[in-house]
Structure 1
């Protein structure tokens, strides 16, 4: 089993409230879930309306595919132009190879 994880921090330049931030979070989550088979969550900075920290994960059986998927997800978020990406970390790991 191969797990791909991505931690992305954003700066929200034009944001003026938590309500506007929630709109951006919802837009990113909806687009990623519709276009990729990934799980998305806001994992930090919930009370700060100008910063956003999101976690994205996916599970598969092929490491090169998972590396490519995480790259495509980050590129898709960047093309949305909803927020500036200020930090991005991705990791792909193997979890066990035997029977459970």
Structure 2
């Protein structure tokens, strides 16, 4: 069993309030959960309007599959026009 963790730091240029930030993040988290069956949570910078840190987790039998799923999730995040990906890091447990 392989557990993959991905931490992504995001910049939300149009986030002028915490409410706007939450709307963007909720939409993104729902898409990630539905498309990739990932566990997703906001794990940092929760009080900042334009910055967010998300944690994504994936469990599978093979590390290659975990890596592929997390790479595809990062690519999806990069394709969202309302969000800029600042940094991403993938770890295996």
TM range (shorter): over 0.9
Structure 1 stretches lacking a partner, 5+ long = 94-100
Match of 2:47 in 1: 47
Pairwise CA RMSD of aligned residues? 0.8
Match of 1:92 in 2: 92
- Pick the structure with greater CA Rg: 1
Match of 2:10 in 1: 10
What is the TM-score when the length of structure 1 is the normalising length? 0.89
Mapped to 2, the partners of 1:37 and 1:4 lie a distance apart of 13
Query: For the Cα contact (< 8 Å) 2:6–2:88, is it kept in 1?
Result: yes
Aligned positions, number: 93
> Cα deviation per residue 1:15-37 (whole Å; 9 max; x = unaligned)?
10000000011011110111011
Mapped to 1, the partners of 2:76 and 2:25 lie a distance apart of 14
What is the TM-score when the length of structure 2 is the normalising length? 0.95
Instruction: Could you list the structure 1 runs, at least 4 aligned residues long, displaced by more than 4 angstroms after superposition.
Output: none
Structure 2 stretches lacking a partner, 5+ long = none
Mapped to 2, the partners of 1:36 and 1:25 lie a distance apart of 16
